Structures are given as structure tokens and as C-alpha cells.
Amino acid sequence: MRSAGLQSLALVAALFAGAAAAAAERLDGEAIRRAFQGNTVAGRYSGTNQPFSEYHHPDGRATGHNRNVPNRDACWTTTADAVCYYYGPHETRRTYCFTVERSDRLYVLRSRPSGRINGMATVEAGDATGSVDADIPAWTCDGLISRAPGGERLASR
């Protein structure tokens, strides 16, 4: 397992090094949706080097894992300029939004509003890790990220 993690880190580092010479393109919400929907976004969190891999269902679910913990209620959506993920019921919902920059095959996710790099990833076609077939009960996404604590900032313009 450690070897696979090191290989993944080496891949991301190599992609980043190759992408550094090319200008990064900041994606708007529609471009993020086109890139992520129906595909697997997989990479590593900055700082911790922990893995994530999520298949982005067209219905708003995100199956897969974060830091090797299976998703049991993850949902995703896009705004005008970011991708947002939410986890948990309304009462305890956690919401995370990221702007996305692309340089060749590398996607850089920056936390909103800080702009801090949260992680680096690649996008793989389809359900690359078979998360749809995992033995986890299905859930539905209500799309109401504005009900998350502090979410009123997401719903305002």
C-alpha cells in the first residue's frame, strides 16, 4: 500500500513539474462540471499526502473515498466558479468549495475563499475505481448546500 501511495505521489509530482511550464487555466463552473461529471477525480491532499478518489455521478452523488474512508453521503455541485462538496445531514452538514485550475492533465483544487491549494488530481474517464459497485447503501443528494452551517455565503450573490 505504501508503494502505491509513493507511486501516486510521484505521478502527481511529475504531472505538476510538466505542467509548471504551461500556463494554468482557471475553470468556470460549467467547465468543471464538464470535466468532473461522469468521471473519477483522484489525487492527493496537499500537506498530508492523503489520497482521495471520487466518481462524480450525474445525479450529484460522489462515491469513492477521502483519506481511505468510504463516502456514505457525499454530494457535489458546481457554482459559477467552483465545485462544492457536502457531507452529512442538514443539521451537521460540512461543505467545502474549491476553485479549479487545469494545466494539461493536472487539476489544482484551491480552497475557497482562502485560495490555499487543497489538493492536486487527475480526472479519469468513468468510474475508474469501481466505486459504484461498492457495497455501500445508495443515497440521494438534495442540492441544498445553502442549508449547511455557514452556507448562506454560498447562496448569496
Confidence category of residue 155, pLDDT binned at 50, 70, 90:
very low
Number of domains, the chain = 1
For the whole model, what pTM was predicted? 0.76
Give the pLDDT band (50/70/90) at residue 153: very low
For 59-68, what is the mean pLDDT? 90
User: What's the rounded Cα separation, in Å, for the pair 110 and 141?
Assistant: 23
Residues with Cβ within 8 Å of 91's Cβ and at least 6 positions away in sequence, in order, are: none
The pLDDT tens digits for 78-108 are 999 999 999 887 788 899 999 999 999 999 9
pLDDT(139) > 80: yes
Domain residues for the domain of 128 are 2-155
